[in-house]
Amino acid sequence: MTHAVILGATASLGKALCQELAKQNINLILFGRDQEALALLASDLTIRFGIATDTHLLDVTELEQVTTWETTILTLPPFDLVFSLVGVMPKNHSSQSIVDTINTNFTGPAVLLSLFVQKLQKQQNGKLVVVTSVAGDRGRQSNYLYGSAKAGLSIFAAGLRHVFWKHGIHVLIVKPGYIDTPMTYGMKSPFIASREYVARKIIRAVQKNQYEVYIPFFWKFILFAIKLIPETLFKRLSL
């Protein structure tokens, strides 16, 4: 019985994804940085869906812990599916916030995923699902810190795919638009998708072995158009 690993399980989207996986009777290994939230998520999944859950406290910004992370990964039960849902919006304009945003959205997950893929390489089998964002498709004034970190992670994931497909490892990059989480709460946009919808679409994309998916699909066309705009015009827009 193999497990699925969820990095950032206590994130808003993380919970919805865990529920979708639990409905399919997949046992879960949950990573998060909030002890109480992890415990609640684990008990909830077990009681509602009857699956087994392991929890591990891990803060992706604590990069000095990288050797501990390596050892932890070696002790995990067999797994062949790894989801990275780690992500955070900048809290304010402080320098600490800049460091946290870049480390949480790029550096931390990139380091962790490198460690996880080493384990998957040994078993010559596995799938990696990296949730980035449409915000990473172009450097824009309204969200460039978060967006650029996510962009870095997207390219990193594509690189992993190129190296490790020969070892039986498949990588899916998920680019959601707005999802109904604290990140978008209060935004007046008609395009906010429910967590459950996004989670279901991610599972579908995994099952279909897709490489990259925009959720909902229409963001693909929106970003295609945005990427086409020449820079002399784009820099004058308020996007």
Partner 1 sequence: MFIKDVSLSGWGNFPTITTRLARPEHVNIISQFLNDNHTSFIPRGAGKSYGDAALNQNIVLTTERLNHFIAFDKNTGIIKCQAGVTLHDILEVVTPYGWFLPVLPGTQWATVGGSFACNVHGKNHRLQGDFAEHIRSILLLLPHGERLFCTPTLHSEIFYATAGGMGMTGLILELELQLVHRAPWLKVKRIPINSMTDLASTLSKNTAEHWVAWIDHFGTGNQLGRGIVESANHCSIESEKKFITPQLQMSIPKFWPKGLLNPWSMRFYNYFRLHDAARKTEEIVPWPSFFNPLDHLQHWNRLYGKPGFLQYQCIIPESSHMFDHLAELLTLAQKKDIFSYLVVVKTHRDSKELMSFPKKGISVAMDFPYHTRLFDLLDASDTRVIKWGGRVYLAKDARLSARAFESMYAHALPAWRAILKKIDPDFRLKSLMSHRLGFKT
Give the footprint of partner 1 on this chain (CB under 8 A): 10, 12, 34, 36-37, 40-41, 43-44, 47-48, 181-182, 185-186
Least CB distance to partner 1 at residue 217 (A)? 26
Least CB distance to partner 1 at residue 113 (A)? 25
Q: Which is nearer to partner 1, 11 or 173 (CB)?
A: 11
Collapse the DSSP code of 83 into the 3-class scheme (helix H, G, I; strand E, B; otherwise coil) and give the result.
Answer: strand
* DSSP result, 85-153: -------SSSHHHHHHHHIIIIIHHHHHHHHHHHHHHHHT-EEEEEE--GGGSS--GGGHHHHHHHHHH
Output the six-digit token pair for 89: 């919006």
Least CB distance to partner 1 at residue 185 (A)? 5
Closest C-alpha among 153, 70, 61 to residue 101: 61
Least CB distance to partner 1 at residue 9 (A)? 12
Q: Which is nearer to partner 1, 182 or 230 (CB)?
A: 182
Q: Which is nearer to partner 1, 41 or 206 (CB)?
A: 41
60 neighbors 108 (Cβ within 8 angstroms): yes
Burial letters 171-187, b for 16+ CB under 10 A, else e: bbbbbbbbbbbebbeee
Least CB distance to partner 1 at residue 17 (A)? 14
Least CB distance to partner 1 at residue 131 (A)? 17
Q: Which is nearer to partner 1, 30 or 110 (CB)?
A: 30
Q: Which is nearer to partner 1, 48 or 122 (CB)?
A: 48
Q: Which is nearer to partner 1, 44 or 212 (CB)?
A: 44
Task: State the burial class of residue 209 (Cβ atoms within 10 Å of its Cβ: 0-12, 13-18, 19+).
Answer: exposed
Give CA separation, 158 vs 124, 165, 166, 185, in Å. Answer: 18, 10, 14, 30
